[in-house]
Amino acid sequence: MANPRGAPPLLHPRHRRLLRSPISRCACLLLAFAAILLLSALRQVARVDFPHPDAPRQVSSEQLWVSDGYGYNACVAPTSRYKVAGKSDRYMTVRSNGGLNQMRTGICDMVAVARLVNATLVIPQLDKRSFWQDTSTFKDIFDQPHFIKALEGDVNIVDDLPESLQSAPRARKHFTSWSGASYYEEVKELWKNQKVVHIPKSDSRLANNGLPTDIQRLRCRCLYQALHFSDPIEDLGKKLVDRLRYRGKFIALHLRYEKDMLAFTGCTYGLSDSEANELRIMRERTSHWKFKDINSTEQRSEGNCPLTPNEVGIFLRAMGYPESTWIYLAAGEIYGGDKYISKLRSYFPNLVSKEMLATKEELEKFNSHVSQVAALDYIISVESDVFVPSHSGNMAKAVEGHRRFLGHRKTITPDRRGLVELFGLLEKGELMEGPELSSLVTDMHRYRQGAPRKRYGSLPGSKGRARLRTEEAFYENPFPECICLTGKH
């Protein structure tokens, strides 16, 4: 066929003459075969270098699972100025309020307060009137003899008041939240007229910052060394950890997508109208919840809502965790059940719970006690290879602090506010799951994985006592008082 008008000839006449030679024809065939092999190789490279657009960015195993404490370790030994506790005829009774971890940190605050006021602490009573209505006593959840023995050089602790004081009049005192050592110097006056002072609430009774180093280290010794769970809880918790480790590395996901949390925060994104209305009614009928009329859209955009199960799946996939990853669900009953959990399971089929790991007989003794079940979740979360909380509640803060204390084990704290913006782009079709989303998400969380850092102070612009609410909780990050470079105390 003739060339198009004005186009140069496809082959020069001299090249045509060369092709008539048998040797030249053979050489051309070899060149053509080599070109086919080269093209095939390039296509193989293309398949490796250019993955499917929906696939997340590849991340190394070390990046996924390994954390670095940079030489920082726990340091809780008393300083040379610290004195062994002497006998005291002052007594302090306490009612610990809230759920498991609110009670745990409150108990350790009360241990430190007893030290500050030189009082003997009576084993605290646990909250039986909270949302969970758990009838467990102190010794049902904690190893009471170990607790008393471990702290005997710090504070005098007794099982109960002496017989002579059982019916004695008691002063009742609500300690001011986030108070420093000087406040408790004044509080000592309470014992001038009564032998016994009762404290109805134990949570957040001490400042996060500005306390003597020895008091801060006492709080850590209490929470991490003295306040062990009871033997039945510890034994089953360790068994479940072993069963998970047999499967391989695993993530403990504290999925705070339970009815009480959604009702309390007013977060209804992704729920049906009837579900949203059910949560609104629950919030209005719970007398001690301060806020009743909540704008769910504003809550979500400000990052105040727990991630949904589907959003957690998108997040972990974007962080680079493969479909085969084992995930332990550390949570109570998920609102909506399988309707919402199935979305997370579609991303990560190896999703397990305590009900799947333990036998019915093993769980039977715990099932009617929410705090004891929560203790199992706590043990597994602390021992997991990676911990991911979907909301920053008491459990998430306590586990993160404990993991920091044990060597800065990997804890990924989702930037909920930033993620909501990305999820909005996904919904609008302006962003797709794949390398671009993975790059944005991993960059956003580069410094949110539990590496050593000092505790955050109050937020800029906060004033008065209200600023204390904005400080990072001591038990969320006990650095620098209880964590220091190896060999430096």
SS3 readout for the chain: CCCCCCCCCCCCHHHHHHHCCHHHHHHHHHHHHHHHHHHHHHHHHHHHHCCCCCCCCCCCHHHHHCCCCCCEEECCCCCCCCCCCCCCCCEEEEEECCCHHHHHHHHHHHHHHHHHHCCEEECCEECCCCCCCCCCCHHHHECHHHHHHHCCCCCCEECCCCHHHCCCCEEECCCCCCECHHHHHHHHHHHHCCCEEEECCCCCCECCCCCCHHHHHHHHHHHHHHCCECHHHHHHHHHHHHHHHHHCCEEEEECCCEHHHHHHHCCCCCCCHHHHHHHHHHHHHCCCCCCCCCCHHHHHHCCCCCCCHHHHHHHHHHCCCCCCCEEEECCCCECCCHHHHHHHHHHCCCEECHHHHCCHHHHHCCCCCHHHHHHHHHHHHHHCCEEEECCCCHHHHHHHHHHHHCCCCCECCCCHHHHHHHHHHHHHCCCCCCHHHHHHHHHHCCCCCCCCCCCCCCCCCCCCCHHHHCCCCHHHCCCCCCEEECCCC
pLDDT of residue 15: 44
| Rounded CA separation 141/231 (Å) | 9
pLDDT of residue 469: 86
Is 60 exceeded by the pLDDT of residue 217? yes
Is 90 exceeded by the pLDDT of residue 16? no
- Read off the pLDDT of each residue in 156-180 and give the average, rounded to a whole number: 94
pLDDT of residue 460: 87
Please identify which residue in the block is written with the tokens 């001490």: 206
Least reliable range by pLDDT among 22-31, 98-107, 420-429: 22-31
Is 50 exceeded by the pLDDT of residue 317? yes
Please identify which residue in the block is written with the tokens 């001038």: 192
Is 50 exceeded by the pLDDT of residue 19? no
pLDDT of residue 6: 42
pLDDT of residue 248: 95
Is 60 exceeded by the pLDDT of residue 36? no
Is 90 exceeded by the pLDDT of residue 31? no
pLDDT of residue 133: 76
pLDDT of residue 42: 40
pLDDT of residue 34: 52
Is 80 exceeded by the pLDDT of residue 47? no
- Read off the pLDDT of each residue in 39-57 and give the average, rounded to a whole number: 46
* Percent of the chain surpassing pLDDT 70: 87
Is 80 exceeded by the pLDDT of residue 282? yes
pLDDT of residue 86: 85
Q: Which is higher by pLDDT, 40 or 201?
A: 201
Digit-coded pLDDT (tens) for 67-94: 989 999 999 999 999 999 988 999 999 9
pLDDT of residue 486: 73
Is 70 exceeded by the pLDDT of residue 23? no
Cβ contact 374:384 at 8 Å: no
pLDDT of residue 55: 58
pLDDT of residue 465: 82
Classify strands 196-199 and 157-158 as parallel, antiparallel or unpaired: unpaired
- Mean pLDDT for all residues in the chain: 88
Please identify which residue in the block is written with the tokens 């007989």: 361
- Read off the pLDDT of each residue in 155-168 and give the average, rounded to a whole number: 94
Is 60 exceeded by the pLDDT of residue 28? no
pLDDT of residue 281: 94
Digit-coded pLDDT (tens) for 403-459: 999 999 999 999 999 999 999 999 999 999 999 999 999 999 999 999 999 999 998
